[in-house]
Amino acid sequence: MTMSAGITRATEGLDAISWNILGQIYVPKQVSPSSMSWHATLPKGTFVPPHIHPTQDEFLYILDGCFDLLLDGAEHRAMPGDLVRLPMGVPHGIFNKTDTDIKCLFWVSPTRRLFDLFWALHNLGPNPNPAEVVAVSAAHEVDFLPPEDQD
Protein backbone atom coordinates (compact mmCIF):
# COMPACT_ATOMS: atom_id res chain seq x y z
CA MET A 1 0.00 0.00 0.00
CA THR A 2 2.85 2.37 -0.82
CA MET A 3 1.83 5.56 -2.61
CA SER A 4 3.50 6.20 -5.96
CA ALA A 5 4.00 9.57 -7.63
CA GLY A 6 1.58 10.37 -10.43
CA ILE A 7 -1.84 11.65 -11.37
CA THR A 8 -5.15 9.96 -10.77
CA ARG A 9 -7.34 11.34 -13.55
CA ALA A 10 -10.78 12.79 -12.87
CA THR A 11 -12.50 9.88 -14.60
CA GLU A 12 -10.39 7.19 -12.90
CA GLY A 13 -9.94 5.51 -9.57
CA LEU A 14 -7.19 3.30 -8.24
CA ASP A 15 -7.12 -0.05 -10.02
CA ALA A 16 -10.54 0.77 -11.60
CA ILE A 17 -12.19 0.32 -8.18
CA SER A 18 -15.68 1.74 -7.65
CA TRP A 19 -17.48 0.78 -4.45
CA ASN A 20 -21.26 0.86 -3.97
CA ILE A 21 -21.58 1.70 -0.28
CA LEU A 22 -25.28 1.55 0.63
CA GLY A 23 -26.28 3.32 -2.60
CA GLN A 24 -23.42 5.83 -2.56
CA ILE A 25 -20.57 5.52 -5.05
CA TYR A 26 -17.02 5.81 -3.69
CA VAL A 27 -14.03 5.84 -6.06
CA PRO A 28 -10.65 5.63 -4.33
CA LYS A 29 -8.15 8.18 -5.63
CA GLN A 30 -5.16 7.54 -3.35
CA VAL A 31 -4.26 5.14 -0.56
CA SER A 32 -1.21 4.80 1.65
CA PRO A 33 -0.74 4.04 5.34
CA SER A 34 -0.78 7.75 6.18
CA SER A 35 -3.89 8.79 4.23
CA MET A 36 -6.66 7.73 1.86
CA SER A 37 -8.85 9.81 -0.45
CA TRP A 38 -11.94 8.98 -2.47
CA HIS A 39 -14.42 10.75 -4.71
CA ALA A 40 -17.98 10.23 -3.48
CA THR A 41 -21.36 10.63 -5.14
CA LEU A 42 -24.26 10.68 -2.68
CA PRO A 43 -27.63 10.47 -4.44
CA LYS A 44 -30.55 12.52 -3.15
CA GLY A 45 -31.95 11.23 0.11
CA THR A 46 -28.84 9.25 1.09
CA PHE A 47 -26.82 9.81 4.23
CA VAL A 48 -24.12 8.51 6.54
CA PRO A 49 -25.62 8.20 10.04
CA PRO A 50 -23.87 9.79 13.01
CA HIS A 51 -20.63 7.98 13.77
CA ILE A 52 -17.15 8.42 15.18
CA HIS A 53 -13.71 7.66 13.77
CA PRO A 54 -11.73 7.04 16.96
CA THR A 55 -8.40 6.69 15.11
CA GLN A 56 -8.72 9.04 12.09
CA ASP A 57 -9.23 12.64 11.13
CA GLU A 58 -11.68 12.95 8.22
CA PHE A 59 -12.18 15.74 5.68
CA LEU A 60 -14.74 16.51 2.95
CA TYR A 61 -14.21 19.00 0.15
CA ILE A 62 -17.58 19.78 -1.43
CA LEU A 63 -17.53 19.83 -5.24
CA ASP A 64 -21.22 19.88 -6.23
CA GLY A 65 -24.35 20.10 -4.10
CA CYS A 66 -25.09 20.99 -0.51
CA PHE A 67 -24.58 18.78 2.55
CA ASP A 68 -26.45 19.02 5.82
CA LEU A 69 -24.17 17.88 8.62
CA LEU A 70 -24.47 17.01 12.26
CA LEU A 71 -21.10 17.88 13.78
CA ASP A 72 -20.57 17.29 17.48
CA GLY A 73 -24.30 17.76 18.13
CA ALA A 74 -24.69 20.97 16.08
CA GLU A 75 -26.31 21.28 12.64
CA HIS A 76 -24.28 22.79 9.79
CA ARG A 77 -24.53 23.19 6.02
CA ALA A 78 -21.60 22.79 3.59
CA MET A 79 -21.64 24.27 0.09
CA PRO A 80 -19.39 23.83 -2.99
CA GLY A 81 -15.84 24.93 -2.19
CA ASP A 82 -16.28 24.35 1.57
CA LEU A 83 -13.93 22.08 3.49
CA VAL A 84 -15.48 20.09 6.33
CA ARG A 85 -13.05 19.11 9.10
CA LEU A 86 -14.03 16.10 11.23
CA PRO A 87 -11.41 15.47 13.94
CA MET A 88 -10.99 11.95 15.29
CA GLY A 89 -13.35 11.16 18.13
CA VAL A 90 -15.90 13.85 17.17
CA PRO A 91 -19.38 12.50 16.28
CA HIS A 92 -20.65 13.47 12.84
CA GLY A 93 -23.38 12.58 10.34
CA ILE A 94 -23.61 13.54 6.67
CA PHE A 95 -26.97 14.01 4.92
CA ASN A 96 -28.10 14.77 1.37
CA LYS A 97 -31.51 16.37 1.91
CA THR A 98 -31.54 17.95 -1.55
CA ASP A 99 -33.12 16.82 -4.84
CA THR A 100 -29.75 16.36 -6.58
CA ASP A 101 -26.63 14.26 -6.24
CA ILE A 102 -23.80 15.61 -4.12
CA LYS A 103 -20.20 15.11 -5.20
CA CYS A 104 -17.24 15.57 -2.90
CA LEU A 105 -13.72 14.47 -2.16
CA PHE A 106 -13.27 12.68 1.18
CA TRP A 107 -9.99 11.85 2.83
CA VAL A 108 -8.83 10.40 6.11
CA SER A 109 -5.55 10.36 7.96
CA PRO A 110 -4.24 7.83 8.76
CA THR A 111 -5.88 5.19 6.57
CA ARG A 112 -6.10 2.52 9.30
CA ARG A 113 -8.82 -0.03 8.27
CA LEU A 114 -11.09 2.16 6.12
CA PHE A 115 -10.00 0.73 2.75
CA ASP A 116 -10.88 -2.75 4.05
CA LEU A 117 -14.18 -1.49 5.47
CA PHE A 118 -15.28 -0.21 2.07
CA TRP A 119 -14.59 -3.63 0.53
CA ALA A 120 -16.59 -5.25 3.35
CA LEU A 121 -19.58 -2.92 2.78
CA HIS A 122 -19.40 -2.94 -1.05
CA ASN A 123 -22.61 -4.24 -2.67
CA LEU A 124 -24.39 -5.31 0.52
CA GLY A 125 -27.61 -4.84 -1.40
CA PRO A 126 -30.56 -2.48 -1.38
CA ASN A 127 -31.78 -3.59 2.08
CA PRO A 128 -28.74 -4.43 4.22
CA ASN A 129 -29.14 -5.54 7.80
CA PRO A 130 -28.33 -2.41 9.88
CA ALA A 131 -26.91 -4.52 12.72
CA GLU A 132 -24.48 -6.16 10.26
CA VAL A 133 -23.39 -2.77 8.90
CA VAL A 134 -22.79 -1.50 12.45
CA ALA A 135 -20.85 -4.62 13.46
CA VAL A 136 -18.69 -4.69 10.33
CA SER A 137 -17.98 -0.97 10.70
CA ALA A 138 -17.01 -1.33 14.37
CA ALA A 139 -14.60 -4.12 13.46
CA HIS A 140 -12.95 -1.61 11.09
CA GLU A 141 -12.71 1.29 13.58
CA VAL A 142 -15.85 3.23 12.65
CA ASP A 143 -18.38 3.41 15.48
CA PHE A 144 -22.00 4.25 14.63
CA LEU A 145 -23.94 6.02 17.36
CA PRO A 146 -27.31 4.69 18.58
CA PRO A 147 -30.34 6.59 17.25
CA GLU A 148 -31.53 9.44 19.44
CA ASP A 149 -34.72 8.84 21.41
CA GLN A 150 -37.82 10.10 19.59
CA ASP A 151 -39.87 11.56 22.47
| Across 9-27, average pLDDT | 92
* Residue 69 buriedness (CB in 10 A; 0-12 / 13-18 / 19+): buried
pLDDT grade for 58, boundaries at 50, 70 and 90: very high
Domain ranges of the chain: 18-144
pLDDT at 104 over 80: yes
Is domain 18-144 classified as CATH 2.60.120.10?
yes
| Across 72-94, average pLDDT | 97
What pLDDT sits at residue 47? 94
What pLDDT sits at residue 149? 59
User: Which of 141, 85, 87 shows the shortest CA–CA distance to 114?
Assistant: 141
- In this predicted model, what pLDDT tens digit does every residue of 116-148 receive, in sequence order? 999 999 988 778 888 999 999 999 999 999 877
Q: What is the mean pLDDT of the chain?
A: 93
Alpha-carbon distance of 94 to 111, in angstroms, equals 20
